Amino acid sequence: MAQCVQSVQELIPDSFVPCVAALCSDEAERLTRLNHLSFAELLKPFSRLTSEATTPWFESYRETFLQSMPASDHEFLNHYLACMLVASSSEAEPVEQFSKLSHEQHRIQHNSDYSYPKWFIPNTLKYYVLLHDVSAGDEQRAESIYEEMKQKYGTQGCYLLKINSRASNRASDEQIPDPWSQYLQKNSIQNQDSYEDGPCTITSNKNSDSNLLSLDGLDNEVKVDGLPNNFRAHPLQLDQPSDPSNSIDGTDHVKPASSLHETKKGNTGIIHGACLTLTDHDRIRQFIQEFTFRGLLPHIEKTIRQLNDQLMSRKGLSRSLFSATKKWFSGSKVPEKSINELKNTSGLLYPPEAPELQIRKMADLCFLVQHYDLAYSCYHTAKKDFLNDQAMLYAAGALEMAAVSAFLQPGAPRPYPAHYMDTAIQTYRDICKNMVLAERCVLLSAEILKSQSKYSEAAALLIRLTSEDSDLRSALLLEQAAHCFINMKSPMVRKYAFHMILAGHRFSKAGQKKHALRCYCQAMQVYKGKGWSLAEDHINFTIGRQSYTLRQLDNAVSAFRHILINESKQSAAQQGAFLREYLYVYKNVSQLSPDGPLPQLPLPYINSSATRVFFGHDRRPADGEKQAATHVSLDQEYDSESSQQWRELEEQVVAVVNKGIIPSNFHPTQYCLNSYSDNSRFPLAVVEEPITVEVAFRNPLKVPLLLTDLSLLWKFQPKAFSGKDNEEVKELVTSQSAMIGTEVISEFLINCEESKVARLKLFPHHIGELHILGVVYNLGTIQGSMTVDGIGALPGCHTGKYSLSMSVRGRQDLEIQGPRLNNTKEEKTSVKYGPDRRLDPIITEEMPLLEVFFIHFPTGLLCGEIRKAYVEFVNVSKCPLAGLKVVSKRPEFFTFGGNTAVLTPLSPSASENCSAYKTVVTDSTSMCTALVSSASSVDFGIGIESQPEVIPVPLPDSVLKPGASVQLPMWLRGPDEEGVHEINFLFYYESVKKQPKIRHRILRHTAVICTSRSLNVRATVCRSNSLEDEEGRGGNMLVFVDVENTNTSEAGVKEFHIVQISSSSKHWKLQKSVNLSENKDAKLASREKGKFCFKALRCKEKEAATQTSEKYTFADIIFGNEQIISSASPCADFFYRSLSSELKKTQAQLSVYAEKQSTEDAVRLIQKCNEVDLNIIVLWKAYVVEDNKQLILEGQHHVILRTVGKEAFSYPQKQDPPEMELLKFFRSENTTVSSRPSVEQLSNLIKTSLHYPESFNHPFHQKSLCLVPVTLLLSNCSKADVDVIVDLRHKTTSPEALEIHGSFTWLGQTQYKLQLKSQEIHSLQLKACFVHTGVYNLGTPRVFAKLSDQVTVFETSQQNSMPALIIINNV
């Protein structure tokens, strides 16, 4: 229980004081009224000390309650002991007036019409007071009247009180203490404050004119002890009859209404006692003292003596008194059995002057004068008597007072008899049905128990008294009980909270809103954050409601906010109710201060870090055949891999533009900022281009939320256009549409527990710095509790208008925390976050803006298929655009054509049913031989140094004017691998005018192509055995091309026709087709294979001489009647691109060996003669039936031949995934490539061929020896001089071998030593000598070769494998 300032030992005597009535004459009343005080009030401050406490409302309630106890018949504590009769000296006949008053008093006391007030004993002490107004009245007269009074009533029975020493209207300089304000003010405030709806008797008492007064008696012992001025212990207290209608009508001249009015006025500013000086105060004090010592105390003493005498005279009674006293001291107890008897009998009522009551009267008097020992024994005796008589009410009263006086006995000779109190309470409540008395008893008992630290008992008592009939009382008691719980030795916090809640509930039922709110708030401290969400919600809700009714709107809002933002376990209906209440309160708040800043709304949740910002226009939807570049949009999910790819592409193109170096201040362009992007710099936005902010909302509630008029909130610092550097920072402008246009979403519905994003746009019209602060919207909910899960659910919502029940306008800020810093030591050891600037774009000057559209862009292709599409470039900005480039990781996929003249139709409409290739109609005769043309790779943008990935777009004037559009053809070639390909294009462009902030802009496009299998081409090249060709030159090659139709799945693809095979090489060209198939077009149906054989030649020297290293010779062998000019776009483009990408791959592999090769020249040279750089292009047509329409698709495949005899493929070989290598802990042995080249390589160094007649007829019968001339041709394939040794002797010496081979012998020189120059062909004339007919193998010569400048000799051994058979016939 809240600590009271007053101790219980002070409280009880304070509560039970001798009562003195005061009867005033009209005139006396008038005098006191000058001070705005009644007579009773005038005396009050000089008889009482006020106190402050922690729960003052309860104390004052208790005080008022105890004081306003109606006087009852069974006890005499608040019966009037004395009566002051007050008259004024200014009256005409004051003495008459006194006797009139005296009669009046007598009439009130003894007339049966008045049940109130009650008088203690029949002959009440009358004390006559003459009031004298010093400033107005005649002092002489007063004195004479007083003398008269003294004579009449005795000096002890009358008093002259002089007041009003100064005029009330005179302004006083001296500070007069105002003792009334303390008392009266407090009372009246409390009246209005906490007792508005309290028991009406209290209110009316306080406001009605008081003309009766009770005076505290002075302790006899204290007086004897010589402390006569101890006024603190003798308070004078105000008391009145509880019912104004029963008040003494004769004296009550001031009408209740006017007095009420006056009291109120007094409260509001009237100075009490304005006519009183300090001397007057002293006089009043003296008067009180005089009255108590001279009048009241002697009277009480006398009464006690009388009563005692009466009792003593009644023998039995006195005996019982003494025996009871003795019993107590010997420690015996009151028999408990009496309690049971109490219950079944109704209370007996004594007549007022019954002798049984005399002892009680005496006890009360003793009690009043604080003679507790005697009081206790009297009460005890009385209790026993009453119990014997079954007078339950009286017994309970005696029990109660016995317990109290036992407690108050100085030195506490006996323990406090708590069971007395319990019995008394029970009796009052259950038998007498007198709740008021029970309550008084409980209040006293609880107070006493508390003073003994028996808090749990006190709490139990208090709780037991709560009942349905009085909410206010229950509330106060529960609150005190709660305080008891928390004051316990081990505080029961949760019990405290619970009872606080109960108290709050009762307070609110009693209409005490402030108290209810306070209770709930105090309980909240216990429940807060403990996870008891239902309880917490309830408290918050109540707090919200109470705060609202008390107009504490901010508190209400925050309480309601609490319910809504915590993950609520409440049902949907409940949440809906909470929300509506919240909105209602909020609306009131905002109406109160319409000009104030927008309130922060708690709902819906915003996931700030998920906010995305997009700069630029929305992507246009596909327009017929036109397909806009995908670019960047908010619909795309973030993918770190692809964003890394884009970044690399941009770096690549920027490096090319800046001559190979990426500028240090380069940052990749970011059009879409999200939580993954680098947001440490201020993003750049371009004026007149929209900024879209995607805000992620989440509705945590089970009711849908409707946001209306949703828009962004921003701050803008415009930058002046003028050339002055010092940018003038204008006043921060918010929502000024001239600078920044703001898009408003009129309705945005978030269903229950839904996460949804809203895209909000801003249109900057001015350069400067923009700060996006948050969102502003009207928060509302949908009328009705139904959930909107589909359009059908609400019939009326097709129009898009939800009926708004209520909405409030508010804002929510977007605050994004940057990434945690983790670079320096300081940052690592502390938690620091970097800035996130994604919402603070800088609006820069105009930049060109490119839009790219693709026309006829396919989605599916055959592998290697060539398709022509068109690209449209549109400059939608007001700035010219230049430096357009496109970069892609897959440059072999597309081409814009080379620098050669474009022959194919330029516009897409004209290109229908037209070949993508540049063709020339040829006559059929030339089909076998190749048509030769040449082209330089530089023309096709493939240089050695240049990055093939970066392709400049051939704009007509290299500048795109504002608003202009250009359509360019674009050829596509299906990638060689089947499957789905995502191909990224990055278009790069610049402004013509250099911008300091944005150097370039980019546009992204991702094309998705699905390829399906078409042809599979394998080719090999081998040396022709025939050394002489028509031109008499060596170095012929045979090229075998295997073509397989691998297309199986496509039902539509009927067959493939090989229409042309072309070669492209720096040194070689196809010469003619060797196999002359009957059908001109080589048709291949599904799963069919075909083989082609071609002869290839070295290009002529003079051709070769004119060729730069980049010049390629193209040779076309045609199977149809149209020549596709392979050296022109697009055929050559794709060839070069695939070549360069192939080169890149091989270079990467070769570079590993580069250094070794330099040291091993010999091997290199030998290897070189094995190499060939012949590239084959297979051009085909596919006949496809699609939608009952036959289509002809074209395509080309490339095979790159490098090594003689090695098969090469058109499609990339599947590489086995490298086996997982074991980790090696030692250095691997350097497996050096042996300095000896392989046999196979060597065998290619010198090429030999034997020329001889296949059969030779010889007449053996004429001549036994047959001589056959044989020519051995030696051809040096290498570029170096080679020493050759030819040994004709048989290598094999075994006789068996001789047997088998038959015997022949070489005649003449059998060993030659020659030197062959580069590419030289040398012929040796040999003679073979045969002796028998038969078949002989002439391939026996062994050829050894060595490079001239080398020492090592290598044997070429190829001839061993190839038998050269000759038939010798006999004729």
Partner 1 sequence: MSGSFYFIIVGHWLSTPPVFEMESLPAEKAESKDDHRHLNQFLAHAALDLVDKNMWLSNNMYLKPVDKFNVCFVSAFVTAGHMRFIMLHDIRQEDGIKNFFTDVYNLYIKFAMNPFYEPNSPI
Residue 1269, CA distances (Å) to 538, 1251, 1322 in order: 121, 9, 16
Shortest approach of partner 1 to residue 38 CB, angstroms? 48
∠ CA 206-210-214 to the nearest 5 degrees?
100
Count of chain residues binding partner 1 (CB under 8 A):
23
Which residue's CB is nearer to partner 1, number 86 or number 486?
A: 486
Q: Which pair of tokens denotes residue 699? A: 């509705």
Which residue's CB is nearer to partner 1, number 499 or number 867?
A: 499
391 binds partner 1 (CB under 8 A): no
Residues 573-592 that bind partner 1 (CB under 8 A): 573-574
Which residue's CB is nearer to partner 1, number 528 or number 1206?
A: 528
490 binds partner 1 (CB under 8 A): yes
412 binds partner 1 (CB under 8 A): no
| Residue 998, C-beta contacts closer than 8 angstroms, at least 6 positions apart | 684, 686, 844, 847, 991
Strands (E), 577-635: 605-606, 612-615, 626-628
Report the interhelical angle of 186-194 vs 513-527 (nearest 10°): 70
Which residue's CB is nearer to partner 1, number 642 or number 785?
A: 785
Shortest approach of partner 1 to residue 540 CB, angstroms? 10
Shortest approach of partner 1 to residue 526 CB, angstroms? 8
Binding mask 518-537 for partner 1 (x = CB under 8 A): ---------x-xxxxxxx-x
Shortest approach of partner 1 to residue 480 CB, angstroms? 16
Among 9, 230, 453, 571, binds partner 1 (CB under 8 A): 571
Token pair 């949804």: residue: 756
Which residue's CB is nearer to partner 1, number 504 or number 683?
A: 504
Shortest approach of partner 1 to residue 491 CB, angstroms? 9
H/E stretch holding 313: helix 297-313
Among 223, 294, 494, 999, binds partner 1 (CB under 8 A): 494
Which residue's CB is nearer to partner 1, number 542 or number 1249?
A: 542
Q: Which pair of tokens denotes residue 651? A: 């770096």
Shortest approach of partner 1 to residue 517 CB, angstroms? 18
Residue 223, CA distances (Å) to 297, 368, 371, 785, 1011 in order: 10, 15, 13, 77, 120
Residues 190-249 that bind partner 1 (CB under 8 A): none
Which residue's CB is nearer to partner 1, number 574 or number 877?
A: 574
Shortest approach of partner 1 to residue 536 CB, angstroms? 8
Shortest approach of partner 1 to residue 478 CB, angstroms? 12
Shortest approach of partner 1 to residue 581 CB, angstroms? 14
Selected range binding partner 1 among 406-414, 492-500, 1140-1148, 1303-1311, rule: CB under 8 A: 492-500
Which residue's CB is nearer to partner 1, number 490 or number 1151?
A: 490
Which residue's CB is nearer to partner 1, number 526 or number 1199?
A: 526
Selected range binding partner 1 among 256-264, 352-360, 489-497, 1211-1219, rule: CB under 8 A: 489-497
Among 80, 455, 498, 716, binds partner 1 (CB under 8 A): 498
Shortest approach of partner 1 to residue 537 CB, angstroms? 7
∠ CA 163-166-170 to the nearest 5 degrees?
145
Q: Distance between CA atoms of 1208 and 1017, rounded to whole angstroms? A: 8
| Residue 906, C-beta contacts closer than 8 angstroms, at least 6 positions apart | 967, 969
Shortest approach of partner 1 to residue 570 CB, angstroms? 8
509 binds partner 1 (CB under 8 A): no
Shortest approach of partner 1 to residue 454 CB, angstroms? 16
Output the DSSP codes for 807-863. EEEEEEE-----PBP-SSHHHHHS--B----TT-PEEE-----EEEEEES--SEEET
- Contact in structure between 70 and 220 (CB atoms under 8 Å): no
Q: Is 349 helix (H, G, I), strand (E, B) or coil?
A: coil
Give phi and psi for 718, each to the nearest 5. -70, 150
Shortest approach of partner 1 to residue 529 CB, angstroms? 7
Which residue's CB is nearer to partner 1, number 537 or number 581?
A: 537
- Cβ neighbours of 1226 (radius 10 Å): 5
Shortest approach of partner 1 to residue 534 CB, angstroms? 4
Question: For 196-296, where are the alpha helices, taking DSSP H only?
Answer: 200-207, 220-224, 256-268, 278-290
Among 462, 492, 767, 1037, binds partner 1 (CB under 8 A): 492
Token pair 């030289």: residue: 1320
Selected range binding partner 1 among 491-499, 880-888, 1137-1145, 1207-1215, rule: CB under 8 A: 491-499
Q: Is 754 exposed, middle or buried (0-12, 13-18, 19+ CB in 10 A)?
A: middle
Which residue's CB is nearer to partner 1, number 501 or number 553?
A: 501
Q: Is 897 exposed, middle or buried (0-12, 13-18, 19+ CB in 10 A)?
A: buried
Shortest approach of partner 1 to residue 400 CB, angstroms? 28
Binding mask 265-304 for partner 1 (x = CB under 8 A): ----------------------------------------
Q: Is 904 helix (H, G, I), strand (E, B) or coil?
A: coil
Reported residue count of the chain is 1371
Closest CA to 548 of 582, 502, 511: 582
Shortest approach of partner 1 to residue 309 CB, angstroms? 54
Which residue's CB is nearer to partner 1, number 572 or number 1329?
A: 572
Query: Residue type at 1021?
Result: V
Which residue's CB is nearer to partner 1, number 234 or number 499?
A: 499
Shortest approach of partner 1 to residue 498 CB, angstroms? 3
Residue 203, CA distances (Å) to 26, 58, 191, 284, 396 in order: 24, 16, 7, 28, 29
Give phi and psi for 820, each to the nearest 5. -70, 135
Which residue's CB is nearer to partner 1, number 128 or number 498?
A: 498
- Contact in structure between 777 and 760 (CB atoms under 8 Å): no
Shortest approach of partner 1 to residue 700 CB, angstroms? 17
Report the interhelical angle of 392-408 vs 372-388 (nearest 10°): 160
Which residue's CB is nearer to partner 1, number 47 or number 540?
A: 540
Which residue's CB is nearer to partner 1, number 787 or number 1020?
A: 787
493 binds partner 1 (CB under 8 A): yes
Which residue's CB is nearer to partner 1, number 537 or number 836?
A: 537
Q: Distance between CA atoms of 135 and 164, rounded to whole angstroms? A: 6
Among 497, 758, 887, 1015, binds partner 1 (CB under 8 A): 497
| Residue 551, C-beta contacts closer than 8 angstroms, at least 6 positions apart | none
- Cβ neighbours of 932 (radius 10 Å): 17
- Contact in structure between 88 and 131 (CB atoms under 8 Å): yes
Residues 427-486 that bind partner 1 (CB under 8 A): 485
Selected range binding partner 1 among 494-502, 1099-1107, 1155-1163, 1275-1283, rule: CB under 8 A: 494-502
Question: For 121-247, where are the alpha helices, taking DSSP H only?
Answer: 139-153, 179-180, 186-194, 200-207, 220-224
Among 296, 307, 425, 501, binds partner 1 (CB under 8 A): 501
Question: For 1070-1226, where are the alpha helices, taking DSSP H only?
Answer: 1101-1106, 1131-1150, 1154-1159, 1161-1168
Which residue's CB is nearer to partner 1, number 194 or number 570?
A: 570
Binding mask 536-555 for partner 1 (x = CB under 8 A): -xx-----------------
User: Residue numbers of the site for partner 1 (CB under 8 A)?
Assistant: 485, 490, 492-495, 497-499, 501, 527, 529-535, 537-538, 571, 573-574
